[in-house]
Amino acid sequence: MKHQEQIEAYWSDPARERELVGAIARLVNVKSVKGDPEPGKPFGPGPAAALDEALALCRELGFSTSDYDHYVGLADLNDKETRLHILGHLDVVGEGSGWDTDPYTCVEKDGMLYGRGVSDDKGPVVCALLAMKAVRDLGLPLSANVRCILGTDEESGSADIAYYYAREPYAPMAFTPDADFPLIHIEKGHYHPDFGAQWESSDAKPRVAALTGGFRTNVVPPEAEAMVLGLYALDVEPVCDQVAARTGAVFTVSGSASGCHIHCAGKNAHAASPDGGINAIAALLEVLAALPLAGCAGTDAIRSMHELFPFGDNRGRALGIAQSDAESGELTLNLAVMTLTETGFSAKFDVRFPLCANEDNCKRACEASFAAHGIAVTGAPDMTTVHCVSADSPLVRTLLACYETYTGEPNAQPIAIGGGTYVHDIPGGVAFGCQFPGFDPKMHAANEQARIDQLLLSCKIFTQAIAELCGG
């Protein structure tokens, strides 16, 4: 491929690795979890601070920058007509628990980087920016501009990108380095309703007086807890031990004069890959449903939720919505958030559905299963569309050729994922990197990690891609 020798030589300089790691560390060191909006900070102070730091970095790299009301920032390589948008995000999910290092300090050890955002998505953002710089440093001929769009709300709904594209046109081509290599051309649709039930309080015992678990729709809940009145540690611990052996969850039971408190520790993971986590809510429901609880509305709700969301059913079989197709794969389900009180419960799940899904076999089927248990959908957003780009599009073919050139992998094929990225609503947009097959970046989990050699390889691929897509 043209320019490959120059690009390989450029990125073989050890100074490039130092520049890469240093820039990633600057961004990781900013805790950019979404917070309450403030004037000039639509997603809170953390994402705003990360954007300020990223734009400062872009200016130091020699790019012209723009700030769209702190929703997104822009870095432009030149003043020609823009042909390519590269979309990355600076916001991150919360750290959760279980880290071996400070999540907001980028730690380098044995060729790895650790810290929240090293893979999702601050590390890949830096790869894209340094690839733009490499094209300029090498003097590769360009007939068009590449614009890097630095977002601040990808993890919480992408209101930032909607704000930008409500004011500016799409580019002819777009990719986001926020998923997997070789290339993502299909992103499953999303469905995540609110649901629950209400009832009169009861004095019956034993009963579950309270339950809470989960903190984000797109994260497998790592913790859940419940207060049980009328049962004590000796009554509950044998059941917890049995469920722990089956699920891998860890239970801690503490007693009180009126009953006991049960804490369940699971394992968080991205909702698009729920098999990689241990759902603490579902595991706790396994325990509660097995206890000799008194008959009351709260007990009925616990047992209904256990029946509809049994532990390990990450495909929605019990809910009656399991389905798959050859092109886009299986539907996945994550019971993400649940709160129960003496007078009712509310919950939320995250479904990622394939091309074959529709309102009848997904949304209405789900609502029918709920209705059979006296559970109502209280917030029913529409199912989003599946994003699908032809595997034969010029953008897909060019990007796959760049990937094959630098990895040596022949006949790389585009794939489908359950995750949603910035390009989900961008016509013709695809997700391209930076996660390589066989490597677990631990996104949305403790000890998020990235391999430095893979980040450098991504830089080479992106450099070539910019040269190919924006070249003369």
pLDDT in tens, 182-225: 999 999 999 999 999 999 999 999 999 999 999 989 899 999 99
pLDDT in tens, 276-317: 999 999 999 999 999 999 999 999 999 999 999 999 999 999
Q: Specify the pLDDT at position 444.
A: 84
Q: How confident is the model at residue 420 (pLDDT cuts 50, 70, 90)?
A: confident
**Using CA atoms, how far apart are residues 226 and 261, in angstroms rounded to an integer?**
6
Q: Specify the pLDDT at position 472.
A: 76
pLDDT in tens, 333-353: 999 999 999 999 999 999 999
Average pLDDT for residues 364-383, to the nearest whole number? 92
Q: How confident is the model at residue 381 (pLDDT cuts 50, 70, 90)?
A: confident
**Using CA atoms, how far apart are residues 406 and 163, in angstroms rounded to an integer?**
36
pLDDT in tens, 133-157: 999 999 999 999 999 999 999 999 8
The percentage of the chain sitting over the pLDDT mark of 90, rounded to a whole number, equals: 94
Give the residue among 262, 261, 308, 300 at the shortest CA–CA distance from 282.
Answer: 308
Burial of 14 (0-12, 13-18, 19+ CB in 10 A): exposed
**Using CA atoms, how far apart are residues 168 and 225, in angstroms rounded to an integer?**
46
Q: Specify the pLDDT at position 380.
A: 65
pTM of the model: 0.81
Average pLDDT for residues 327-334, to the nearest whole number? 95
Going 432 to 435 to 125 to 95, the CA torsion angle's sign is: positive
The percentage of the chain sitting over the pLDDT mark of 70, rounded to a whole number, equals: 100
Q: How confident is the model at residue 270 (pLDDT cuts 50, 70, 90)?
A: confident
User: Per DSSP, what are the bridge partners of residue 146?
Assistant: 84
Q: How confident is the model at residue 173 (pLDDT cuts 50, 70, 90)?
A: very high
Q: Specify the pLDDT at position 455.
A: 98
Average of per-residue pLDDT values in the chain: 96
Q: How confident is the model at residue 239 (pLDDT cuts 50, 70, 90)?
A: very high
Q: Specify the pLDDT at position 318.
A: 98
